[in-house]
Amino acid sequence: MRIFHRGWTHLFLVLLACLPFMVAAQSDRPKIALVLSGGGAKGAAHIGILKVLEEKRIPVDIIVGTSMGAYVAGMSAMGLSAEEVERTTLAIDWSKGYQDRVGREELSLRKKQQIERFQLRTDIGFNDGAFQLPNGFIQGQTMASLLRLATFNLPSLQSFDDLPIPYRAMATDMETVTPFVLDHGSLAKAMQASMSIPGALKPVRWEGRILADGGIVNNMPVDVAKAMGADVVIAVDIGARLRTQESLNSGLAMIGQLTTFMTRVGTDRQKALLEDGDILLTPDIDDIGIADFARMPDGIKRGEMAAMKAAPELDRLALSKERYKEYRDHKLSRRAERSGQPAYFIDKVEIINNSRLSDETVRAMLNVRPDQIQTNESLEAGIRRLYALESFDRITYKIEERDGENVLVVDANEKSWGPGFLNFQFGFSDDFESNSNYNVGMSYTLTNVNKWGAEWLTEAALGTSKHVKTVFYTPLEPSQTFYGEASLAYNKTPRRIFNIGLDASTNPDISYSFFSSELAVGWNSQPWSRIYTGLEGQIGSIEIKQAGNANVDATTWGPFIHFEYDTLDSLYFPYSGNKWDMKLGYSRVNLTGGELDQMGRDRGLNYNFAMVKPWSWDRHSLNLILEGGGSNSDEIVPLYVQDLGGPFRLSGFQRYQLSGRYSLLGGLRYIYRVADNDFGAFRMPLYLGSSLEQGGVWNKGAEIDFDSSITAGSVYVGVESFLGPIFLGYGVAEGGNNMFYLQLGTTFE
């Protein structure tokens, strides 16, 4: 035992004697910090600089960033190589980060229909007699998703020192407008806080603070790197430069100049902190805009060029191959211990529900169960389902490791400017001859009326047609699978009726003015599919102008069943999905009108169906269109009137020019996407196309045949805009009918 003890004592004394030399060996090189500034798409230059540092075997021991620099720094801090950062960054569609709304295919049928009737989605709050606005043009929901996926949902950290490379992100505390250093927590959330441009992107709430883009107060945080113990700082300045006198030619240019000046003042203060031995890199990227994400590959090359110009200064920091391998192996070892994963076993789900919805409803929409493996994609899909309710301004989540368990923490915040919201409609159409139609409308939606997400929608439109409607919709259980709905509406619509037995040669103009009500229960089998049944009724009058200006009073009521299915990616320019709409009703009809009292009392079936099926390849799409309807009740003036006319519905005729008791239409429509026109916050794709149609309207079912149908077609140019669809085209139909047409937005005509 004594020999064993003496041997260990000697070994300990030897190690103790060698310790100073071991420490010296580890500390015989300076601690190098990389400081990356903000500048939007210009930040791609940082990736080029990382590539050169790796080529020259220059280690990075600390990495700090602001805004886009915080993103690149964070990705590098995770232990990713420059090539991996480049590949991940260029694969991200950054413009989507400025588009908060989920895709049309993910919206419920109700939301699709509301959005397409009232395309001007201002989302202005109106509550207690006062208007309220969002606290950011973009809420940052999609940007948060992009950053989470880029970082593989890295679990929250007690300290960013635990990353393979110690990391800090710079943000601005908007309450005090002072610098705030993010040093722990969710890496993706820290990146987003540093990138949230005030007024454009909603600030990020972080432990009781409101944080926004760090470039406001410190766009190149050299001081943070030095406080972390850096011996040498490599700082990269990609901030905008002040405009010349010649370019200060507008109010926006003046505002931009002031913003740039404030950023430059902070950057100049940080430059003053650089000492002998520190290195400042300034890539030549002034011609790349902060939103020029398509030019990011060019920005990477510009960063490489800037780093190569500083080669003499950088080379003195290079390590030997052996020592750089030790550095890289150590970094990769830490990466293996602390890295994001494509999937996680979720032990618990914790909901921070800052809304009037019940926790059960939030959980049902998420559909994320504990004690199961969840991929990052399935987690994001659950968040999108919840966000598609359009009740929340931002929904975030993070994965926390607690006592050996993975806890999914979901933070759902209801829109602070709700619960009532205004949206608007403007629609206009013209045939450049004698027929112009327009509608101006507004809707008010009171959301989350009960804990299951009930809504009270009221809408009104004035113009060629008149429309007022109020609808109360309520789910009947937390998952919103089953629902009840009650509505009351008034509509006044002009039409022209053919072959109704009055005076076919004059094609009388008729105006339908009706109050209608509906009471229904339904099943949302999927967000994009529902079936509902109930009772509907109408009471009103029909004015026949060419028949002695006769007025016919009419009433109808009866049961119905309605099936809807819609997965189209776009209602007006579809490239994928399907749309089905089928309704069957049975009604008692009563028409009276003095001398026209004999016009009828009857009962019978009424039905409508419509189908759209697109096939697409590259920028081309071919749509099959089928629709029709009718009623076998025998009143002489059809109450359930069918119509054709307008673009793609026998294009040579005006809207509603062909109306009768029965209609049938089949057609093929070709669409070619000429340009995407993706501006980040919104898109306005441009299309060219043509159509071929065959169909008609008839007064009796026995009259329906191919010989009496009409062939028509059109050519057009179209734009899908935030105002709604825009069409300019020319349509022709058998019988010498033709017209140019212009349509903007949607109407209730």
Amino acid identity of residue 602, one-letter, is D
Separation CA 735–CA 679 (nearest Å): 44
Name the residues annotated as catalytic.
67, 213
Query: 587 and 556 in contact (C-beta within 8 Å)?
Result: yes
CA distance 208 to 219: 23
Give the 3-state secondary structure of residue 292. coil
Q: Which strands, in side-by-side order, build the sheet including 392-402?
A: 348-354, 405-414, 392-402
CB within 8 Å of 41: residues ≥ 6 apart: 68, 94, 288, 289, 290, 291, 292, 293, 295, 296, 299
Q: Per the omega criterion (within 30 degrees of 0), is the bond before 283 cis?
A: no
Tokens of 488: 């009351």
Amino acid at residue number 511 = S
Beta bridge partners of 493: 512
* SS3 state at 399: strand
Contact present, 215 and 175 (Cβ < 8 Å): no
Q: What is the 3-state secondary structure (H, E, C) of 122-139?
A: EEEEEECCEEECCCCCEC
Long-range contacts of 642-648 (CB under 8 A, 24+ apart): 642/608, 642/697, 643/495, 643/697, 644/695, 644/696, 644/697, 646/429, 646/741, 647/691, 647/714, 647/716, 647/727, 647/729, 647/731, 647/741, 647/743, 648/691, 648/693, 648/714
Burial tier of 648 (Cβ tally within 10 Å: 0-12, 13-18, 19+): buried
Phi, psi values for residue 531, rounded to 5°? -135, 135
Is the backbone of residue 248 left (phi > 0), alpha (psi -120 to 50) or beta?
beta
- Are 118 and 390 in contact by the 8 Å Cβ rule? The answer is no
The strand pairing partners of 180, in sequence order, are 171
Distance, CA of 510 to CA of 540 (rounded, Å): 13
Count of positions (residues) in the chain: 749
Nearest one of 328, 65, 103, 330 to 214, comparing CA atoms: 65
